[in-house]
Copies of this chain bind each other. A is one copy, B any other.
Amino acid sequence: MHILLVEDDAQLGAALQRALERLSYTVSWLRDGRTALNAIRDRTADLILLDLGLPGRDGIEVLTETRRAHIDTPVLVMTARDTLAARVDGLDAGADDYLIKPFHVEELAARIRSLSRRTRGLAVNRIDVGALTLDLGTSEVTFRGEPVELTRREFALLQALMENAGRLVRRESLENSLYGIDHVVGNNALEVLVHALRRKLSFETIRNVRGFGYMLPRDPK
């Protein structure tokens, strides 16, 4: 899952990026409204984490502009003021949820999960696909009943495939949700990652469709 973090404060931004990456999210950190809007318009993000405290009321503008462009990527707003006006402003402008600073990373993580659950229509924190289960809360994966130890990247790849089980996931789409917008061309990082994941699961589980991408069968055994 690919998160766009819009935050001008260097310290908080770096901390959030690290925390989110530790939770297996791919984070693109943008420091100002203009570059944020450009990135948002690409529609490659799954969730936008937006600081309303950007200088010059930039935050709200980013949000309004996003919604006016009919981009309905979920937006989680961070604000320093817990006033009714602030909340109304944010939600009216099209935010899906908000957080009052300061907050704990656990709370942020919970809201991100809740938000992606809501917009995805999932009832629980767990994805089941055949003999595979993946827990977004605890980051645990089991295969054929056995727990499997996955690294951060492997987990993110498996999640992307499981969320689209039975459907082909395009190569660019995977690279985007793993590496963010600015992935370099010409590397075979994805292939190496697929290989590592196959080794930990089984080699039949992940199917390749030459020239297009990868796919997880709806019922892998």
User: Chain A: residues with CB nearer than 8 A to chain B?
Assistant: 70-72, 110-111, 113-114, 117-118, 137-140, 151-152, 155, 167-168, 170, 209-213
Task: Give complex CA distance A140, B169 in Å.
Answer: 11
- Contact yes or no, B168 A114, CB < 8 A: no
* Contact assessment for A152 and B211 in the assembled complex, using a CB-CB cutoff below 8 Å: yes
Cα–Cα, bound, A151→B212 (Å): 9
Q: Do A212 and B139 have beta carbons less than 8 Å apart?
A: yes
Which of A70, A152, A168 has the most B CB atoms < 10 Å from its CB?
Answer: A70
Q: Is the CB of B139 within 8 A of A209?
A: yes
Q: With the chains together, A33 CA to B3 CA distance in Å?
A: 37
* Contact, CB under 8 Å: A211 / B70: no
Most B CB contacts (10 A, CB to CB) among A151, A212, A213 go to A212
- Per assembly, the copies of the chain total 2
Q: Which of chain B's residues have a CB closer than 8 A to the CB of A155?
A: 212
Q: Among the listed B70, B110, B213, which residue makes an inter-chain contact with A114, where contact means beta carbons less than 8 Å apart?
A: B70
Q: Could you say which residues of chain B place their CB within 8 Å of the CB of A170?
A: 139
Q: Are B140 and A168 in contact (CB under 8 A)?
A: yes
Contacts of A72 in B (CB 8 A): 114, 117-118
Nearest neighbor of A111 in chain B, beta-carbon distance: B70
Cα distance A70–B168 in the bound complex, in angstroms: 29
Contacts A70-B111, A140-B167, A152-B210 known; list 4 others, CB within 8 Å.
Answer: A137-B167, A139-B168, A139-B170, A140-B168
**24 contacts across the A-B interface (CB closer than 8 A):** A70-B110, A70-B111, A70-B113, A70-B114, A71-B114, A72-B114, A72-B117, A72-B118, A137-B167, A138-B167, A138-B168, A139-B168, A139-B170, A139-B209, A139-B212, A139-B213, A140-B167, A140-B168, A151-B210, A151-B211, A152-B210, A152-B211, A152-B212, A155-B212
Which residues from chain B contact A209 at a C-beta distance below 8 Å? 139
- Chain B residue nearest to A117 in the complex (CB): B72
